[in-house]
Structure 1
């Protein structure tokens, strides 16, 4: 197994968890929050996908799927087009409402395709390349990708937990 294979596998697991969390839920279920300060499944899936789209497209030096493929217009959120959800407060979370689970999973699938198209071509020699020297220590390509994977898996797990709460409630 190569590093590229490992990265593709990790992003595939995120995709699987996203589908498990969202598929078959209606708009109200996707927007449900266990209290007014909590995140919804819709927000969690949208946010983790936006972060992956933002970070990986930057690394690949391509336009984000969000704008390149018209997803920002399809979602029609009352948020800035470059918003990824970072730093959102409770009102911002509430503003992320979607009409269907398919919208979320289809956007995630489009980002997944762009992501694996990029990471699937990486070599071991690519991963130590420093991509952000504003940190101490500087951030390598490999560390940035692991960071995206870790963040996405945490949010996908939270979304699946919320689905379980909904199904048992």
Structure 2
């Protein structure tokens, strides 16, 4: 297994967790909060997908799937089109509403497909490319991809936890 295969496998695990977290949930359950300040499953999945979309498009030098494929219009959220959910308030979290889990998974799958196509084309040497020199040490492509995977899995795990809590109610 090479590095590209390893990264593709990791992103595949994110996909599995995302799908499991929203499976068989109603729109009401997707936006239910465990308490008044908690994130919702809809927001968590939307946010992790937006971050992945934003970061992969940035390192690939392409337009985000969010705008390129019309997902911003389909979601019709009350945020600027470039919003990823980073720094959202409780009120903004509550504003992420969907008609079905399918909207969330379809957007995630579009981003996932693009991501996997991108990482499968990488060589080990590509992973050493500096993609952000605002940090010390500068961030390489490999570090950025692992960071996205880590962030995705944390948010997908939170969504899975909420799913379990809702099902136990």
Which whole-Å CA distance do the structure 1 matches of 2:26 and 2:62 have between them? Answer: 33
Which position in structure 2 is the counterpart of 1:73? 73
Question: Once the 2 structures are TM-superposed, how far is the Cα of residue 162 of structure 1 from its aligned partner?
Answer: 0.2
Residue 94 of structure 2 corresponds to residue 98 of structure 1? no
TM-score (norm 2): 0.99
Which stretches in structure 2 are left out of the alignment for 5+ residues?
none
| Matching residue of 1:20 | 20
Give yes or no for the alignment of 1:62 onto 2:65: no
**How many angstroms does 1:23 deviate by?**
1.8
Distance 1:133 1:64 in 2: 21
Contact 1:132 1:138 in 2 (8 A): yes
Q: Describe the superposition over 1:90-111 as per-residue Cα deviations: whole angstroms up to 9, x where unpaired.
A: 0010000111000000000000
- State the Cα deviation string for residues 48-95 of structure 1 (Å, max 9, x = none): 000000000111111100000000000011111100000011001000
Q: Distance in 2 between matches of 1:20 and 1:61?
A: 31
Q: Deviations over 1:22-69 (max 9, x none)?
A: 122111000000111100000000000000000001111111000000
TM-score of the aligned structures, taking structure 1 as reference length: 0.99
Question: Number of aligned pairs?
Answer: 169
Contact 1:23–1:105, Cα closer than 8 Å, also in 2: no
Query: For the Cα contact (< 8 Å) 1:128–1:142, is it kept in 2?
Result: yes
2:61 & 2:15 partners in 1: Cα distance?
22
Q: Summarize deviations over 1:114-137 as a string: whole Å, max 9, x none.
A: 100100110111111111111111
Report SS of the residue matched to 1:36.
coil
